[in-house]
Structure 1
Amino acid sequence: MLSQQQQTEEIQYIPPKGEFEIFRDEEHYREKMKEWGLSATKEVKKEFWYKDKTIQRLVTIKGYETFGLKTEFNTLVIEFQDGNLSCIHPAYLKEMQQASFGKESIWGEEDKGSEKSEPILEVHKKEPEEAMVANPKKVKEPKPKKERPAKVELPEEKVHFTGKVKQFAMTYNPFNEENDEVVVLEDVVIVKESPLELKYAWCSHSKTLKKFELAAGDLLEFDGKVAAKKLAKGKDVPEEFVIDVAVAYKINNPSKIVKL
């Protein structure tokens, strides 16, 4: 193992680009750790290992960057003990916590499967006349082209929303392999000079939202950021938590919530 000075020189830092999202409070930190699959225990981890074959340093998570228009992605901003900041993917940091990391990391492996040749299938060839009888050619009628819905230009900054609680549902979280509770909203409108109707949207049923003791039919107005992120169905959930509509947009960090 290299000395700390040598390790510092070996690390390739990727500093964040300008300002980044920080955690509002301990509950927000707990929710994000669960979402990224970085802490499955009651006591939320505060320090994580950053390592490879020659480096092993403790880091803390200072915040995260959010990007993507069609789908929302997060990049973690971690701080080393010497104060240096760097960006890293949540799944990569999660993998670094494994004892075997650095020996055979799946992130550094080349595609071993590319060297394998495809199996050769033995095909029974029919005589021309027999093939024509067994597989007569059918004339396919051209299918009418489906009209694609126009793309919605979503604002990147925080905006004001109105909407109505449709239902509570469960969505599968692949990071922690559990179902998370969410709130599905309907009649969602982004309030601006030219109002933008989203129809349906969803957000996490956070501790903040639970304080309002929401019920289906409640009218709300609030601030938040929106991203194009489909709501996935939960696995083996009670019938009342099954999502019964297609929801294409997620609202992040709702604040200034007013129940009308």
Structure 2
Amino acid sequence: MAITLPHIEDANRTAYLPPKGEYEKFIDESHYAEKVREWGLSTTKEVKKEFWYKERDHQRIVTIKGYETYGQSGEFNTIIVEFQDGNLSCIHPAYLKEMQASSFGKVTFSDVNEPSPAPVKKNEQPSTAKHKKDKKETEPKKEKQTKIELPEEKVHFTATVKQFSLSWNHFNEENDEVVVLENVVIEQGNPIEIGLAWCAHSKTLKKFELAPGEKLEFDGKIVKKKLPNGKDVEEKFIVGDPVLYKVNNPSKLKKS
């Protein structure tokens, strides 16, 4: 006989894992939609706003407030959810996705908790990093790039198409098509030189039939997010230099 979880809003019965500090917040609705779909939490045209948070004897409604990043290049996320009483808690995207299934409860906690220790593993690897001393020379360059103050609002860009690539989507477990841009500049009173950036090769962009070497103008929002390398891809899809910034939802695109 199937057991139906009671719909109970009882903060005393929920085991909270609140964020330890600041976390990434969504820039706008399109950024929220992009991340929720990336985590596999919504496949409908209208992106879900509320989700079930289930424990053994009760279930509650939560909304997603933001996320934390971890991993060597920040490619992994931990979701920050907010309960109806205002409490915040951290949860792995795959675990929250499993909670939405009516059959939830049959999975073991050891299975879903496995990805969580990833940040600890990072600290446990100093010995493997010692033999890569040559990478220390590139670290100052990365630090200089992180000091760029990115505008939060939509801005105007100029850039050149460098190449097309494939990027591994950890949550969908498949490669996504992306466009790698070079000579990316935020055009404003004091232009900001970004260098390399990437964006999804969406259906909208495919209509422009972009080609390497073409100069572009467009509007969009930029965030610090490293391009994850694709898995088992041909050499032509490999980007030699690290691409640390992503342009979300480019629009008003023109070839110049």
Pairwise TM-score range, normalised by the shorter structure:
0.5 to 0.7
The 1:84–1:185 alpha-carbon spacing in structure 2 relative to 1, beyond 3 Å, is same
The 1:230–1:107 alpha-carbon spacing in structure 2 relative to 1, beyond 3 Å, is same
The question of whether the paired residues in 2 share the 8 Å contact of 1:166 and 1:186 is answered with yes
Task: Give, as a single letter, the amino acid of the residue that structure 1 aligns with 2:246.
Answer: I
Which residue is 2:239 aligned to?
Answer: 244
Distance in structure 2 (CA, Å) of the matches to 1:51 and 1:37: 18
Distance in structure 1 (CA, Å) of the matches to 2:178 and 2:240: 14
Distance in structure 1 (CA, Å) of the matches to 2:96 and 2:44: 20
Task: Give, as a single letter, the amino acid of the residue that structure 2 aligns with 1:225.
Answer: I
Is residue 23 from structure 1 mapped to residue 16 from structure 2 by the alignment? no
Tell me how large the CA RMSD over aligned residues is: 4.4
Distance in structure 2 (CA, Å) of the matches to 1:238 and 1:76: 33
Q: Which runs of 5+ in 1 are unaligned?
A: 112-142
TM-score by length of 1: 0.61
Task: Give, as a single letter, the amino acid of the residue that structure 1 aligns with 2:66.
Answer: E
Q: SS of the counterpart of 1:4?
A: coil
The 1:224–1:50 alpha-carbon spacing in structure 2 relative to 1, beyond 3 Å, is same
Q: SS of the counterpart of 1:202?
A: strand
The question of whether the paired residues in 2 share the 8 Å contact of 1:163 and 1:185 is answered with yes
The 1:151–1:66 alpha-carbon spacing in structure 2 relative to 1, beyond 3 Å, is farther
Q: SS of the counterpart of 2:248?
A: strand
Aligned residue runs from structure 1 range 1-260, under 5 A: 3-5=6-8, 7=10, 10-11=13-14, 20-24=26-30, 29=33, 31-38=34-41, 46=48, 48-57=51-60, 64-65=65-66, 71=74, 76=79, 88-89=90-91, 90-96=93-99, 97=101, 98-101=104-107, 104=110, 106-107=112-113, 146=137, 148-149=140-141, 151-152=144-145, 153-156=147-150, 157-158=152-153, 159-221=155-217, 222-227=219-224, 229-240=225-236, 242-259=237-254, 260=256
Q: SS of the counterpart of 2:245?
A: strand
Using the aligned pairs only, state the percent identity: 42
The question of whether the paired residues in 1 share the 8 Å contact of 2:68 and 2:80 is answered with no
Once the two structures are TM-superposed, the CA of residue 50 in structure 1 deviates from its matched residue by 1.6
Once the two structures are TM-superposed, the CA of residue 250 in structure 1 deviates from its matched residue by 2.4
TM-score by length of 2: 0.62
Task: Give, as a single letter, the amino acid of the residue that structure 1 aligns with 2:171.
Answer: F
Distance in structure 2 (CA, Å) of the matches to 1:169 and 1:201: 12
Once the two structures are TM-superposed, the CA of residue 192 in structure 1 deviates from its matched residue by 3.5
The 1:42–1:237 alpha-carbon spacing in structure 2 relative to 1, beyond 3 Å, is farther
Once the two structures are TM-superposed, the CA of residue 255 in structure 1 deviates from its matched residue by 3.6
Give the number of equivalent residue pairs: 219
Q: Output one character per residue of 1:186-225: Cα deviation in whole Å (capped at 9) or x when no partner.
A: 1112234443322211111123323333222222222312
Q: Output one character per residue of 1:63-92: Cα deviation in whole Å (capped at 9) or x when no partner.
A: 653677x84876657687x79796654244
Higher-helix-fraction structure = 2
Task: Give, as a single letter, the amino acid of the residue that structure 2 aligns with 1:257.
Answer: K
Q: SS of the counterpart of 1:151?
A: helix
Distance in structure 2 (CA, Å) of the matches to 1:110 and 1:167: 34
The question of whether the paired residues in 1 share the 8 Å contact of 2:162 and 2:182 is answered with yes
The 1:195–1:57 alpha-carbon spacing in structure 2 relative to 1, beyond 3 Å, is same
Q: Output one character per residue of 1:210-249: Cα deviation in whole Å (capped at 9) or x when no partner.
A: 333322222222231220x332321223444x12321332
